[in-house]
A and B are shown apart, each in its own frame.
Chain A
């Protein structure tokens, strides 16, 4: 059974940093692109970033480029999102999502999310 478990969220001051983690199990982690998607309170889903299975290719939404860094440790089956220079508008639930097999461009499994609150 595929499981994705996010952690690392919390309350952080504006300008601060945070690293989110997503522990994956139930599939061969290194074979799949993985993504982060966020949802601000009461708002819709926003795609944030994706990383290839080996970690060599990364892509970001324009809204986070330069402040967010996606990475992975395939030896630990864990996905990360480093968030720097946090702003109030980064307040959101952050979901990790597994991208389906190559050629099927959609997200087939989602974690339950971790809440990041940016406030002084």
Chain B
């Protein structure tokens, strides 16, 4: 069974930079998994941030960026703001119509 792992929590200071990662239980994450990232605040639906590894969705500020770092997908927030405090989820496309979400990272900005 494929497991996608994210840091359960992370903290960043306002104005700081943070990189959240998304790893596979077996193997490396590559662009072939079409990693995408979603932001969710409590009680709200997810919001699409990044798709196809590093493409920002419409309206997403350029302080959000996606990449492959080593064997993981990564979401970097540069110049974090208070309203970036949210849960962040990655999802990987495993092929054959199957997606797997990571467990999510709760980001605190303080």
Binding site for B on A (CB under 8 A): 35, 37, 44-47, 50, 57-59, 61-62, 95, 100, 104-113
Q: Can you show 20 pairs from A to B with CB atoms below 8 A apart?
A: A44-B87, A44-B101, A44-B102, A44-B103, A45-B46, A47-B99, A47-B100, A59-B96, A95-B45, A100-B51, A104-B52, A105-B36, A105-B93, A106-B51, A106-B52, A107-B36, A107-B46, A107-B91, A108-B51, A112-B45
Interface flag for B70 (CB, 8 Å): no
Nearest CB in chain A to that of B51: its residue: A106
Query: Are B103 and A106 in contact, CB atoms less than 8 angstroms apart?
Result: no
Given the known A-B contacts A100-B51, A105-B34, are A44 and B45 also in contact in the complex, defined by CB atoms under 8 Å?
A: no
Q: Which of B45, B98, B104 contacts A111, CB < 8 Å?
A: B45
Determine the distance from Cα of A110 to Cα of B97 in the docked complex, in whole angstroms: 18
Q: Which of B48, B51, B93, B104 contacts A44, CB < 8 Å?
A: B104
Query: Are A95 and B46 in contact, CB atoms less than 8 angstroms apart?
Result: yes
Q: Mark B57-88, 1 if CB is under 8 A from A, else 0.
A: 10000000000000000000000000000010
In the bound complex, residues from chain B placing their C-beta under 8 Å from that of A37 are 46, 101
Find the residue from A44, A107, A109 having the highest chain B CB count within 10 A: A44
Query: Are A59 and B97 in contact, CB atoms less than 8 angstroms apart?
Result: yes
Query: Are B98 and A113 in contact, CB atoms less than 8 angstroms apart?
Result: no
Q: Which of A57, A109, A112 contacts B97, CB < 8 Å?
A: A57
Query: Are B48 and A107 in contact, CB atoms less than 8 angstroms apart?
Result: yes
Query: Are A110 and B104 in contact, CB atoms less than 8 angstroms apart?
Result: no
In the bound complex, residues from chain B placing their C-beta under 8 Å from that of A58 are 97
Given the known A-B contacts A47-B101, A59-B98, A100-B51, are A110 and B46 also in contact in the complex, defined by CB atoms under 8 Å?
A: yes
Query: Are A62 and B1 in contact, CB atoms less than 8 angstroms apart?
Result: yes
